[in-house]
């Protein structure tokens, strides 16, 4: 049984990311399963799951660039910045396309973004949404995020379809809210689909209903991807069985003279063994993170 690798899921609207993790734990009988970047229940799309030792890759995947297709509705703002929340302001106004296109470039690059009050960010040890639900004042400080791409895909007032490519930690709900504030119309997010997370796109993802059938038929292993796929930017260093054994115990292995930086060690079976780091002043690779026990 494959108990080490990646599972790229196309999550539908409805389930929480945590419930998908639990479903996969039950379906695979693998105890260690985690996601590399949550999706709200109202959002759909690419959810990257790490299985077994691959959970140690989540730090690399969770900080990767994400791409979304978002729908923003002008004319009203809500407490949660999406369609689930109580309306806090209603103008009934929609900006014209020229106004929108003139504003979008101002959100490109590194910006300060205030997260939604209904978010999982912790304030003095408590989650912001817990404080908000209790009627307490939620004061969230702006955070630096980077928006690499922001394009209007379609506009049929009051609904604007956007394509967003952004850094990890960017709240598309906040982006929708801020657009409405800047345009004076109010706005909130009504739809969100993640189309890419790091190197993985919707083309790589298995729809959740199809995965559930695979659990029933016992054919789920065909959907597991090699852990090495999470690190496409790192060069491969192929090691033999003795080299793999050395890495397993945290020992160095020889490095080519012209190799530098970081690399991924691939074992005789084609699986990711370790993330390697070149040792300064020595012709060796040092195992920075080992995935075999």
| CA-derived radius of gyration, the chain | 22
Residues 107 and 151 placed together within one structural domain of the fold: yes
Show pLDDT as tens, one digit a residue, over the chain (293 residues): 678 899 999 999 999 999 999 999 999 999 999 999 889 899 999 999 999 999 999 888 888 999 999 999 999 999 999 999 999 999 999 999 999 999 999 999 999 999 887 667 776 667 766 666 766 666 777 899 999 999 999 999 999 999 999 999 999 999 999 999 999 999 999 999 999 999 999 999 999 999 999 999 999 999 999 999 999 999 999 999 999 999 999 999 999 878 889 999 999 999 999 999 998 888 899 999 999 86
Q: State whether 60 and 204 are in the same domain.
A: yes
The reported pLDDT for the residue numbered 259 is 82
Is-catalytic flag, 40? yes
Q: Which of 40, 82, 178, 204 is catalytic?
A: 40
How many Å apart are CA 150 and CA 157, to the nearest integer? 18
Q: State how far the Cα of 288 lies from the Cα of 199, in Å rounded to an integer.
A: 22
Same domain, 103 and 159: yes
How many domains does the chain divide into?
3
Q: Does one domain contain both 101 and 180? A: yes
**In the 8-state DSSP scheme, what is residue 284?**
E
Tell the residue number behind the tokens 């065909």, with chain if given. 222
Per-residue pLDDT, 130 = 66
What CATH number does the domain containing 249 carry?
2.30.130.10
Which of 183, 211, 229 is the C-terminal boundary of a domain? 229
If asked whether residues 134 and 182 sit together in one domain, one would say yes
What is the pLDDT, as a whole number, of residue 2?
74
Q: Are residues 90 and 174 in the same domain?
A: yes
CATH code (residue 147): 3.30.2350.10
Comparing CA positions, the residue from 136, 152, 86, 144 lying closest to residue 115 is 144
State which residues form the domain around 239.
Answer: 234-290
Give the integer Cα–Cα distance in Å for 163 and 276.
36
Q: Does this model's pTM top 0.85? A: yes
């Amino acid at each position: 049984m494959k108990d080490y690798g990646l599972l790229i899921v196309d999550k539908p609207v409805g389930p929480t990311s945590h419930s998908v993790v639990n479903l996969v734990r039950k379906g695979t009988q693998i105890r260690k399963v985690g996601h590399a970047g949550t999706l709200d229940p109202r959002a759909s799309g690419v959810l990257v799951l790490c299985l077994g030792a691959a959970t140690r890759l989540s730090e690399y995947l969770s900080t990767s660039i994400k791409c979304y297709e978002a729908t923003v509705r002008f004319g009203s703002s809500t407490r949660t910045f999406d369609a689930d929340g109580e309306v806090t302001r209603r103008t009934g106004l929609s900006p014209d396309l020229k106004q929108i296109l003139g504003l979008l470039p101002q959100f490109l690059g590194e910006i300060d973004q205030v997260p939604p009050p209904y978010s999982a960010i912790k304030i003095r040890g408590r989650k912001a949404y817990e404080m908000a639900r209790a009627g307490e004042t939620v004061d969230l400080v702006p955070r630096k995020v980077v928006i690499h791409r922001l394009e209007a895909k379609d506009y049929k007032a009051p609904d604007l379809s956007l394509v967003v490519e952004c850094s990890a930690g960017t709240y598309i709900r906040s982006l929708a809210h801020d657009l409405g504030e800047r345009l004076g119309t109010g706005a909130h997010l009504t739809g969100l689909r993640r189309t890419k997370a790091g190197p993985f796109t919707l083309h790589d993802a298995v729809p959740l209903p199809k995965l559930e059938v695979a659990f029933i038929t016992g054919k789920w292993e065909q959907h597991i991807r090699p852990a090495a796929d999470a690190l496409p930017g790192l060069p491969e260093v192929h090691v033999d069985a003795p080299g793999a054994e050395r890495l397993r115990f945290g020992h160095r292995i020889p490095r080519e003279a012209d190799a530098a930086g970081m690399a991924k060690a691939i074992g005789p079976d084609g699986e990711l063994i370790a993330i390697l780091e070149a040792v300064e002043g020595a012709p060796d690779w040092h195992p920075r993170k080992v995935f075999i026990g």
